Amino acid sequence: MQKSTIDSQEIIEGLGKAGGGLSKGRGLFLKYLGFPLLNSLISWKRALDIFEREGEKIINLSKSVDDKKLFERVLVPKLFGLEDNSRYYSVAMVLEHLLIVGSALQQRIPLLSQGKSLDVEIKIEKYKPYVEIENDIIEVYETFLKGFRKTLEENVEDIHLDNRHEHPWFGKLKAKEWAVMGAIHQIVHRRQIEAIIKGL
């Protein structure tokens, strides 16, 4: 087990706080233009396809990294859709974050599609990977990815049911919209891993 430690306090202090969100301009663009447009273009099936495809890319990229460098944090340039606080991660930290978010989506999307309410307030800072991360994080993520789609398809009822839950950045989303958000989230963090590897 290895702990993702703070390599440079100066870098940490120079970044925004966890849960601080995107810049005002980018946040408004994504909420009112970017995300609604993508949601209109991406079907339920397409969202799951993207989630899986990007996950497989993430696994392949992660496997290309030396075991010791997997836990080395790199400050990446600003990336569209990435909160400033999340710019100083290791590959292992990104994988842990994707597991936290992906597991929540896997549980909550079916519940929304079934007309059930979610008794949880989503706060971005609670999904940060500032925890001890196991050495087999790639294998754990790979196992998760293999079961993600199957779990959704077996438990989802009505993806367009007008049953919503609040996302801090995008507002109240239905089950299908949460799936689209999950697909976009995969893309953002695949690009982050590419940037981290470039910086190693």
Q: What does the pLDDT look like over 70-100, one tens digit per residue?
A: 999 999 999 989 999 999 999 999 999 999 9
| Mean of all residue pLDDT scores within the chain | 92
- The two tokens of residue 44 are 């339920």
pLDDT tens sequence across 15-65: 877 777 777 788 788 888 999 999 999 999 999 999 999 999 999 999 999
Please tell me the predicted confidence (pLDDT) of residue 22. 75
Task: Give the number of other CB atoms < 10 A from CB of residue 154.
Answer: 8
Domain segments of the chain: what residues? 22-199
The C-alpha atoms of residue 19 and residue 121 are separated, in whole angstroms, by 13
CA-based R_g, the chain, Å: 17
Please tell me the predicted confidence (pLDDT) of residue 7. 54
Q: Between vectors from CA 127 to CA 147 and to CA 102, what angle results, nearest 5°? A: 15
The C-alpha atoms of residue 200 and residue 193 are separated, in whole angstroms, by 11
- Residues 23, 152: contact at Cβ < 8 Å? no
The C-alpha atoms of residue 164 and residue 178 are separated, in whole angstroms, by 9
pLDDT tens sequence across 154-171: 999 999 999 999 999 999
The C-alpha atoms of residue 85 and residue 73 are separated, in whole angstroms, by 13
Query: 22-199 maps to which CATH number?
Result: 1.20.120.450
